[in-house]
Structure 1
Amino acid sequence: MRVYKSFKEIDNDLAIRKLERDIALEKVKLNVTKTKDELNPIKLVSGFKGILIKYLIRYIVKKFV
């Protein structure tokens, strides 16, 4: 536990903690936004479409070759 010698030290420490909290909150907001973008149905379908095409090509090649 830190021992403070003046109220100014306390105020400075509180200001630092508030800024750290604000930064952490902004990081959370950014991560939520990125997650929402990645879970966008269009992106999910396009990712699934690529996998599906890859396996269809393999199936067709094996079937006819």
Structure 2
Amino acid sequence: MVKDYSSFEEIDTRLKILELQREIDQESLKLNLQNAKVDLVPRLFRNSLGTSFTQNETIKNLLITFISNKALNFIRSKRKARNRD
């Protein structure tokens, strides 16, 4: 799609808009990456703990799931509080 510009002011305005859109997209990508890291931590933590326990599998899985869910809920509540500010 080719757009014809009638003045340099129009070109400058369009370039400023594109630059701001690029910055918004970069910040959005950073936020999504950070959210993905936060969401993955409990799962990775649970999986790494699973290899170090030698107890009964059912008790171990219940304990790990309980702890990781508590941690995940805590992290999500902190993220929601930070987003409200």
Q: TM-score, normalised by structure 2?
A: 0.50
2:6 maps to which residue?
5
- Give unpaired runs (5+ residues) of structure 2: 51-60, 63-85
**CA root-mean-square deviation:** 1.4
- The number of equivalent residue pairs is 46
Moved over 2 A (4+): none
Identical-pair percentage:
37
Give secondary structure in 2 for the equivalent of 1:4. Answer: coil
Structure 2: distance between partners of 1:20 and 1:31: 16
- Give unpaired runs (5+ residues) of structure 1: 54-65
Which is bigger in relative contact order (C-alpha 8 A, separation at least 6)?
A: 2
Structure 1: distance between partners of 2:28 and 2:15: 20
